[in-house]
């Protein structure tokens, strides 16, 4: 126990040397006190401890004192300490040592020394007596040093009554062991077990060995009571169990209790030894491994087999840069040499060493001056682009121009191309096709939602976990300095607390700056002028103007129905069928089904949703085929085995489920099928005369097998417009054209959105008639721009009606309600003005507009028509709704002329500058206005 020290003494010591020392000390103390005290009376000396019947009580907080053992105790009570000193001076050096009881609801294993002292400090008289065990030990006061009193246990005591309260003095009765039979086999067996356990403990704990030697020297040979006391005294187990040993007068029971304590001590000692051994093995193993590794390094270095870590790293970095030393810029070579010199001066265990190592690793792994060979064959590029994509003539033309310039110059210069368009039109796949056509390495990274500029420009090297930017990582992974880098979703760049990534891209995408692009991590200029950047965006209005200024915009408006049909038939349907494992002869996908699918389910500008729907159809077809028992698993290969020159064995491994077919096959190729081989997985062909006959028979047999399999298959699945809803459900879209002939006050307009183009109706009705009721109510979840357009249109209508029909007071006394259907869809934009004017005028003059007419354009207060955007998308939407006549602003004539012929086919398009021209076109079918 911490703070407890124990000595051993024999009865002879207590009467001999110890008594002599005590008498000397007491005589010296008596001589010292003669000058201070007038009384010289000294009590007669008591020689025998058995005559002590009244003793001063010493509370023991931790362990009981056993006969024959020393124990130091700290006495804080001044009166008690003074009484002990006086008793020692009067040659009565005895006191009673009694163990303190535990507090109620406390555990002796948990209570601490400070808690014990607090619990007995300040207790006096009867209160203190109640907190003490009744059985204790007569202790001889060996010496007193300050407040430290050294006690020597002598015999057991029992408190009978209290004599004095302060200091607590009690009458005691000396206890003797009960008589016992020394030849009792139970006592002998128990003592032998105690001795055996003590020996086991002595082997493990050398401290106990010293205790046993000192005890036997002072106490003589062990007898049964002494053996029990020894086992309990040197145990550090629960103090209450030790108190039970002290109180037990039956020697047999005392031995059993002592055995329990010694067993516990043995387990504690074993556990202590195992913990110490585990810790020691761990420390020793690490030290041994370290020493062996150091010795191995020294041996390898001495033999020249291996250099140290720093030398090996330097050699690795030098070897990397050696092959491209001539192409590497001089500034980069200088930085590499400086860092290699710095590396030799650093300790391998320092943090700067790892930072320098990583920096050199990035510097030497980049492809300085390494360029891949480009293919400047325009015809090759044209063929690849046509294979991968249908239509997109403007995109393909721009790529061919890039290749032609590179061929004439002999080298290509990097450009920044931005492909803008709705989702699903193939922007990302176009970038991959361009890389294949140019024979360039392809690298894609998406910047959608990117808010940390370090992803573009890299981190500072001083940061923990610093990394270069995406462009440097691209060069490392690609291995060339002229890849095609696709920056996807550039219009969705984020902006957070870590900076503005859009501004960080300026240096990367600026042709005047990216020849010396500076990454924060590398801190050396990198030439990116040969990199071809292709960016993709859905809406270019979301791209910051400084960044947009550095790009070349190529707009991909989307696909019309004819283009979607061609893409679905030539690409999507074929690839999806092969991906689902369906044979062409097992399904027939009618053109009517594709047309219905495009018109009623997939009206968006792209073809991604169209591909999803085709995949859904083929999955259901695959399920039908499997439920009918069809299996398209590939047949196993045919293996020819030549046994000898006269005999040739042929194994045809295939699965034929039909027995009659299997017999026919065996007969056709002259084979013999055993009756036990029911699966027909191995068919052994009998000897044939020549190899040509073998090949002929094999080919003929396999053809008949395939024909039989096809004939035995289920009937062909036909997908047409009538059963399309069984595969993908009811149509999602209804016809956008609600009226064959639009009624009075209703006009069709053309709109643009991020998914492509669409048509919408603008309706106007008269709510109330009467003088002073002039007002305009606008509904349909319109934005601020369209609300202003409605007010402008109302004013323009008043002016035009007054000009055309001066006697018509419609707008002077009518309250109108203008509505744009699909109110749940937000609508805004400056292209519905002329449509609103036409709708109001139609209501005012009571005449519907021309049949199959749609228009778009913004009108001013003076009746001028302003240009609009999204000409291709709006034209496609008009064709989809069956519109024959379209009205565009004159400023959009150039945009319409650039459209593909198949988009413009069958359309009557009029270009107008003033609204009066629209009036003539909309309400006078015999107008002579020239069409485009």
pLDDT tens digit sequence for 651-706:
333 333 344 434 433 334 333 333 334 333 443 433 334 444 445 554 555 554 44
Could you tell me the two tokens for 839? 């709708």
DSSP structure class, residue 179? P
- Which of 263 and 710 is assigned the larger pLDDT? 263
Please report where in the chains the tokens 């707009």 appear, as a residue: 555
Which residues form the domain of 225? Answer: 180-232+248-306
Please report where in the chains the tokens 């009998």 appear, as a residue: 686
Give the sheet arrangement for strand 532-537, strand by strand: 442-446, 484-488, 532-537, 416-420, 552-555
Could you tell me the two tokens for 311? 């030398």
68 is in an annotated binding site: no
Q: Are residues 201 and 279 in the same domain?
A: yes
What would the pLDDT profile of 749-776 be if each residue is shown by its tens digit? 998 876 667 888 899 998 877 666 678 8
Q: What is the pLDDT of residue 412?
A: 73
* Range of lowest pLDDT (411-420, 463-472, 708-717): 708-717
Q: Where are the beta strands (DSSP E) in 227-302?
A: none
Which band of pLDDT confidence, cut at 50, 70 and 90, is reported for residue 399? confident
Q: At 857, is the secondary structure helix, strand, or coil?
A: coil
Interhelix angle 330-345/351-365, nearest 10 degrees = 150
Residue of 263, 457, 872, 874 with catalytic role: 874
Interstrand relation of 746-753 and 756-769 (parallel, antiparallel or unpaired): antiparallel
Could you tell me the two tokens for 466? 């610093």
Half-sphere exposure of residue 486, counting CA atoms within 13 Å on the CB side? 21
Q: How far is CA 216 from CA 31, 69, 212, 233, in A?
A: 37, 12, 6, 14
d(CA 748, CA 830): 16
Which band of pLDDT confidence, cut at 50, 70 and 90, is reported for residue 95? confident
Q: Are residues 260 and 297 in the same domain?
A: yes
pLDDT at 888 over 90: yes
What would the pLDDT profile of 460-490 be if each residue is shown by its tens digit? 888 888 889 889 999 999 889 889 999 998 9
Q: Which residues contact 772 (CB under 8 A, 6 or more apart)?
A: 813
Beta bridge partners of 97: 58, 137
d(CA 565, CA 559): 9
Q: Are residues 410 and 505 in the same domain?
A: yes
In a domain, 370, yes or no: no
DSSP structure class, residue 716? P
Q: Which residues contact 229 (CB under 8 A, 6 or more apart)?
A: 66, 67, 68, 245, 254, 258
In a domain, 243, yes or no: no
Which band of pLDDT confidence, cut at 50, 70 and 90, is reported for residue 634? low
Q: Are residues 163 and 67 in the same domain?
A: yes
Q: Are residues 752 and 839 in the same domain?
A: yes
d(CA 115, CA 112): 5
First and final CA of the chain: distance in angstroms?
109
Q: At 780, is the secondary structure helix, strand, or coil?
A: coil
Q: Are residues 300 and 313 in the same domain?
A: no
Q: Which residues contact 603 (CB under 8 A, 6 or more apart)?
A: 733, 756, 880
What would the pLDDT profile of 916-930 be if each residue is shown by its tens digit? 889 888 887 544 434
pLDDT at 114 over 90: no
- Which of 44 and 635 is assigned the larger pLDDT? 635
457 is in an annotated binding site: no
Q: Which residues contact 482 (CB under 8 A, 6 or more apart)?
A: 371, 372, 374, 412, 414, 440, 530, 531, 532
Give the sheet arrangement for strand 746-753, strand by strand: 775-779, 814-819, 756-769, 746-753, 853-855, 885-889, 908-912
Could you tell me the two tokens for 743? 């009624």
Q: Are residues 382 and 298 in the same domain?
A: no
Q: Are residues 568 and 550 in the same domain?
A: no
d(CA 452, CA 485): 19
Provide mean pLDDT across the span 334-344: 87
Q: Are residues 201 and 302 in the same domain?
A: yes
Q: At 416, is the secondary structure helix, strand, or coil?
A: strand
DSSP of 541-578, one letter per residue? GGS-HHHHTTSEEEE-----HHHHHHHIIIIIHHHHHH
**Count of Cβ atoms closer than 10 Å to residue 762 Cβ:** 25
What would the pLDDT profile of 598-625 be if each residue is shown by its tens digit? 888 887 878 889 999 999 999 999 998 8
d(CA 456, CA 458): 6
Looking at the 3D structure of the chain, how many domains does it have? Answer: 7
Q: At 66, is the secondary structure helix, strand, or coil?
A: coil
Specify whether the CB–CB gap between 669 and 700 falls below 8 A: yes
DSSP element (H, E) containing 119: helix 113-120
DSSP element (H, E) containing 776: strand 775-779
Residue of 191, 433, 481, 831 with catalytic role: 831
Q: What is the pLDDT of residue 683?
A: 37
Q: Which residues contact 302 (CB under 8 A, 6 or more apart)?
A: none
Q: What is the pLDDT of residue 711?
A: 45
The pTM (predicted TM-score) of the whole model is 0.56
d(CA 133, CA 921): 121
Beta bridge partners of 587: 717
> For residue 149, what is the domain's CATH number?
2.30.130.40
Could you tell me the two tokens for 196? 């055996």
Provide mean pLDDT across the span 88-114: 68
pLDDT at 169 over 60: yes
146 is in an annotated binding site: no
> For residue 909, what is the domain's CATH number?
3.30.230.10
Provide mean pLDDT across the span 638-652: 40
When the pLDDT of each residue in the chain is averaged and rounded to a whole number, the result is 77
Q: How long is the chain?
A: 932
* Range of lowest pLDDT (495-499, 724-728, 829-833): 495-499
Q: Are residues 188 and 50 in the same domain?
A: no
Q: What is the pLDDT of residue 261?
A: 80
Q: Are residues 80 and 151 in the same domain?
A: yes
Q: At 859, is the secondary structure helix, strand, or coil?
A: strand
Cis link prior to 886 (omega < 30° from 0)? no
427 is in an annotated binding site: yes
Specify whether the CB–CB gap between 862 and 914 falls below 8 A: no
Q: Which residues contact 839 (CB under 8 A, 6 or more apart)?
A: 745, 746, 747, 762, 763, 764, 818
Beta bridge partners of 865: 859
Known catalytic membership, residue 874: yes
Q: Which residues contact 873 (CB under 8 A, 6 or more apart)?
A: 557, 558, 605, 752, 756, 757
d(CA 555, CA 757): 14
Q: How far is CA 89 from CA 9, 77, 138, 379, in A?
A: 22, 19, 18, 124
Which of these, 505, 596, 605, 594, lies nearest to 555 by C-alpha position?
A: 605
Could you tell me the two tokens for 139? 């202790």
In a domain, 431, yes or no: yes
426 is in an annotated binding site: yes
Q: Are residues 776 and 706 in the same domain?
A: no
Q: How far is CA 795 from CA 18, 451, 774, 803, 914, in A?
A: 128, 47, 12, 13, 15
In a domain, 731, yes or no: no
Q: Which residues contact 536 (CB under 8 A, 6 or more apart)?
A: 418, 419, 420, 427, 428, 431, 486, 487, 488, 489, 490
In a domain, 321, yes or no: yes
In a domain, 169, yes or no: yes
d(CA 185, CA 167): 47
Cis link prior to 167 (omega < 30° from 0)? yes
> Secondary structure of the chain: what % helix, strand, coil (to 5)?
45, 15, 35
In a domain, 721, yes or no: no
Beta bridge partners of 652: 683
What would the pLDDT profile of 245-277 be if each residue is shown by its tens digit? 777 887 778 788 878 887 887 788 788 888 888
Q: What is the pLDDT of residue 649?
A: 37
> For residue 587, what is the domain's CATH number?
1.10.8.60
Could you tell me the two tokens for 372? 């891949």
Q: Single out the residue in 628, 650, 672 at which a domain terminates.
A: 628
d(CA 86, CA 138): 17
> For residue 431, what is the domain's CATH number?
3.40.50.300
**Count of Cβ atoms closer than 10 Å to residue 293 Cβ:** 10
Beta bridge partners of 765: 817
Provide mean pLDDT across the span 350-375: 87
In a domain, 484, yes or no: yes
Rama region for 919: left / alpha / beta (φ>0; ψ in -120 to 50; rest): alpha
Could you tell me the two tokens for 697? 């028979």
- Which of 569 and 183 is assigned the larger pLDDT? 569
**Count of Cβ atoms closer than 10 Å to residue 882 Cβ:** 12
Provide mean pLDDT across the span 170-191: 80
DSSP of 496-513, one letter per residue? BTTB-HHHHHHHHH-TTT
770 is in an annotated binding site: no
What would the pLDDT profile of 293-337 be if each residue is shown by its tens digit? 888 877 877 776 655 577 778 888 888 888 888 888 888 899 988
């Amino acid at each position: 126990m911490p703070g407890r020290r124990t000595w051993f003494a024999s009865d002879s010591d207590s009467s001999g040397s110890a008594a002599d020392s005590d008498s000397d000390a007491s005589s010296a103390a008596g001589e010292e006190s003669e000058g201070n005290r007038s009384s010289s009376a000294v009590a007669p000396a008591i020689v025998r401890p058995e005559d002590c019947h009244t003793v001063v009580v010493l509370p023991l907080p931790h362990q009981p004192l056993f006969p024959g053992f020393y124990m130091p105790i700290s006495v804080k009570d001044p009166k008690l300490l003074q009484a002990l000193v006086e008793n020692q001076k009067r040659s009565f050096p005895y006191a009673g040592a009694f163990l303190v009881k535990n507090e109620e609801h406390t555990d002796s294993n948990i209570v601490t020394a400070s808690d014990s002292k607090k619990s007995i400090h300040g207790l006096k008289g009867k209160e203190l007596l109640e907190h003490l065990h009744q059985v204790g030990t007569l202790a001889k006061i060996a010496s007193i040093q300050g407040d430290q009193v050294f006690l020597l246990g002598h015999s057991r005591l029992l408190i009978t009554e209290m004599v004095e309260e302060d200091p607590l003095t009690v009458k005691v009765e000396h206890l003797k062991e009960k008589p016992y039979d020394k030849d009792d086999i139970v006592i002998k067996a128990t003592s032998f077990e105690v001795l055996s356990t003590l020996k086991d403990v002595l082997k493990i704990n050398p401290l106990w060995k010293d205790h046993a030697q000192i005890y036997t020297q002072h106490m003589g040979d062990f007898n049964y009571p002494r053996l029990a006391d020894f086992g309990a005294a040197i145990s550090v187990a629960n103090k209450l169990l030790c108190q039970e040993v002290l109180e037990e007068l039956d020697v047999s029971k005392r031995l059993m209790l002592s055995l329990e304590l010694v067993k516990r001590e043995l387990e504690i000692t074993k556990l202590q030894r195992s913990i110490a051994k585990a810790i020691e093995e761990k420390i020793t193993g690490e030290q041994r491994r370290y020493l062996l590794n150091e010795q191995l390094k020294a041996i390898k270095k001495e033999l020249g087999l291996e250099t140290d870590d720093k030398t090996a790293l330097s050699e690795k970095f030098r070897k990397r840069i050696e092959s491209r030393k001539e192409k590497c810029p001089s500034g980069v070579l200088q930085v590499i040499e400086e860092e290699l010199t710095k590396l030799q001066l650093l300790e391998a265990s320092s943090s700067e060493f790892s930072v320098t190592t990583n920096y050199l690793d990035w510097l030497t792994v980049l492809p300085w001056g390494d360029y891949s060979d480009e293919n400047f064959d325009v015809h090759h590029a044209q063929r690849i682009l046509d294979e991968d994509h249908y239509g997109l003539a403007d995109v393909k033309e721009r790529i061919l121009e890039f290749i032609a310039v590179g061929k004439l110059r002999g080298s290509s210069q990097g450009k920044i191309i931005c492909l803008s368009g709705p989702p699903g039109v193939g922007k990302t796949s176009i970038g991959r096709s361009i890389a294949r056509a140019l024979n360039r390495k392809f690298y894609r990274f998406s910047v959608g939602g990117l808010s940390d500029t370090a992803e573009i420009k890299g981190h500072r090297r001083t940061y923990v976990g610093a990394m270069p930017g995406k462009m440097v990582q691209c060069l490392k992974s690609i291995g060339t300095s002229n890849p095609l880098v696709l920056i996807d979703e550039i219009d969705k760049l984020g902006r957070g607390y870590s900076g503005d990534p859009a501004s960080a891209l300026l240096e990367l995408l600026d042709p005047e700056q990216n020849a010396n692009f500076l990454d924060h991590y590398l801190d050396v200029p990198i030439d990116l002028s040969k990199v071809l950047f292709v960016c993709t965006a859905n809406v270019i209005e979301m791209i910051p103007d400084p960044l947009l200024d550095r790009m070349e915009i190529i707009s991909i408006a989307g696909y019309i129905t004819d283009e979607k049909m061609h893409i679905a038939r030539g690409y999507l349907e074929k690839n999806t069928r092969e991906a689902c494992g369906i044979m062409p002869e097992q399904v027939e996908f009618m053109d009517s089904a594709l047309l219905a699918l495009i018109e009623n389910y997939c009206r968006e500008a792209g073809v991604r949703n169209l591909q999803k729907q085709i995949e859904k159809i083929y999955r259901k077809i695959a399920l039908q085929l499997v439920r009918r028992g069809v299996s398209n698993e590939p047949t196993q290969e045919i293996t020819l085995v030549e046994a000898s020159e006269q005999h040739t064995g042929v194994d045809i491994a295939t699965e034929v489920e039909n027995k009659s077919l299997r017999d026919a096959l065996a007969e056709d190729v002259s084979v013999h099928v055993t009756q036990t081989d029911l699966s027909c997985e191995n068919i052994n062909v009998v000897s044939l005369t020549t190899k040509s006959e073998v090949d002929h028979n094999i080919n003929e047999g396999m053809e008949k097998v395939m024909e039989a399999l096809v004939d035995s298959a289920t009937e062909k699945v036909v997908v047409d417009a009538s059963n399309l809803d069984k595969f993908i459900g009811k149509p999602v879209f209804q016809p956008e054209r609600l009226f064959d002939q639009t009624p009075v006050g209703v006009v069709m307009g053309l709109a643009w959105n991020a998914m492509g183009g669409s048509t919408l109706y603008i309706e106007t009705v008269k709510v109330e008639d009467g003088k002073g009721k002039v007002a305009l109510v606008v509904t349909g979840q319109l934005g601020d721009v369209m609300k202003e357009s409605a007010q402008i249109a109302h004013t323009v209508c008043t002016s035009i009606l007054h000009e055309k029909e001066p006697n018509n007071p419609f707008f002077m006394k009518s309250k109108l309600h203008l509505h744009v259907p699909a109110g749940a869809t937000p609508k805004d934009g400056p292209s519905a003005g002329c449509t609103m004017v036409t709708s109001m005028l139609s209501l005012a003059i009571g005449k519907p507009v021309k049949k199959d007419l749609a228009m778009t354009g913004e009108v001013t207060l003076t009746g001028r028509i302003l240009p609009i955007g999204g000409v291709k998308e709006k034209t496609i939407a008009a064709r989809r709704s069956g519109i024959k006549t379209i009205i565009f602003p004159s400023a959009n004539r150039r945009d319409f002329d650039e459209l593909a012929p198949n988009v413009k086919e069958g359309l009557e398009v009029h270009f107008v500058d003033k609204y009066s021209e629209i009036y003539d076109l909309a309400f006078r079918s015999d107008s002579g206005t020239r069409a485009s």
